[in-house]
């Protein structure tokens, strides 16, 4: 129960653990009370040795359910199978996330200009991004680097090699008074959609900070024979796919 009540990014990430445990325990409890005795009644031999026990109201309730279940054995087993399928459907509805989002109010935007060797065009692209986002009240302060990365402001921020066609912007945001966005994922999706539609002269990738990072592996094939380079490229691609 405490894990279900966590109100933070970490709580959203671990929500699936107590949810699955709760569903499994409820399903196991009902199967132990109803399904298992029915299957036992169908397979075990009856005995004449019985022990008299004081029947409380709860015991009488379950004995009544058990008698009804034994009377309608096929229906009970069918309902148990249906209940298991419903539990499986509930678990499939859980969001699968490899790395949880960091509990930081910061949005990272990586820009790539269409002009590979013109840093002025990249700076114009960064200014255009800031202009597009200036009317978003949830976004507050921002920091910009053109031609390189910002000083590493979090451990999971991916480093890109310095180049005239790259820029990086880090925005801080505040959703405490926002009526449009209930989560930072919704804000990220909105910003990404806005930039994808209106940004001209380059591309933008918006990211929330995560508790971990993915590192890309880059292979560079260098040579003068273009045909041979293509052959090696296809060979490497085939090896990676297998």
Least Cα distance to 173 among 235, 86, 89, 104 occurs for 104
What is the reported pLDDT for 127?
Answer: 94
* CATH (residue range 106-208): 3.30.70.1430
103-126 burial, b for 16+ CB within 10 Å, e for fewer?
A: ebbbbbbbbbbeeeeebebbbbbb
DSSP of 158-206, one letter per residue?
PP----TTEEEEEEEE--TT-SS-SSHHHHHHHHHHHHHHH--SEEEEE
User: Among 105-114, 162-171, 187-196, 233-242, which is the least confidently predicted range?
Assistant: 233-242
Higher pLDDT, 55 or 141: 141
* CA pair distance 35, 58, nearest whole angstrom: 18
Per DSSP, helices labelled H in 93-152 are 119-133
Contact between 8 and 102 (Cβ < 8 Å): no
The residue with greater pLDDT, 228 or 50, is 228
pLDDT digits (tens, 9 = 90+) for 33-46: 777 777 777 777 76
Where exactly are the structural domains of the chain?
9-92, 106-208
In this predicted model, which residue has the larger pLDDT, 228 or 213?
A: 228
| Beta strand ranges found along the chain (DSSP E) | 106-113, 139-146, 166-173, 202-208
In this prediction, residue 84 carries a pLDDT of 77
Out of 19-23, 41-45, 108-112, the most confident range is 108-112
Tens-place pLDDT, residues 133-158: 999 999 999 999 999 888 887 776 77
pLDDT at 214 over 70: no
Please determine, for residue 52, whether its predicted confidence score (pLDDT) is greater than 70.
no
CA distance 29 to 174: 44
pLDDT in tens, 164-210: 999 999 999 998 888 888 888 899 999 999 999 999 999 999 988 87
């Amino acid at each position: 129960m405490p894990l279900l009540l966590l109100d933070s990014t970490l709580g959203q990430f671990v929500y699936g653990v107590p949810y699955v445990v709760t569903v499994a325990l409820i399903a196991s409890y009902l199967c132990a009370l109803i399904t298992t005795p029915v299957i036992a009644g169908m397979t075990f031999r009856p005995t004449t040795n019985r022990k008299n026990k004081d029947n409380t109201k709860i015991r009488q309730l379950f004995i009544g359910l058990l008698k009804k279940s034994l009377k309608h054995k096929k229906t009970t087993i069918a309902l148990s199978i249906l209940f298991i399928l419903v539990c499986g459907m509930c678990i499939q509805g859980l969001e699968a996330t490899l790395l949880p989002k960091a509990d930081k109010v910061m949005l990272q935007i990586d820009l790539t200009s269409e002009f590979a060797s013109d840093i002025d065009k990249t700076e114009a692209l960064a200014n255009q991004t800031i202009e597009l986002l200036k009317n978003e009240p949830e976004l507050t302060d921002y920091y910009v680097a053109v031609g390189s990365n910002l000083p590493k402001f979090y451990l999971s921020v991916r480093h890109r090699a310095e180049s005239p066609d790259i820029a990086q912007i880090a925005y801080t945001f505040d959703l405490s008074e926002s009526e449009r966005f209930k989560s930072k994922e919704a804000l990220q999706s909105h910003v990404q959609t806005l930039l994808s539609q209106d940004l001209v002269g380059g591309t933008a990738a918006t990211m929330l900070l995560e508790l971990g990072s993915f590192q890309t592996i880059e292979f560079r094939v260098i040579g003068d024979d273009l045909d041979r380079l293509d052959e090696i490229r296809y060979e490497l691609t085939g090896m990676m796919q297998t």
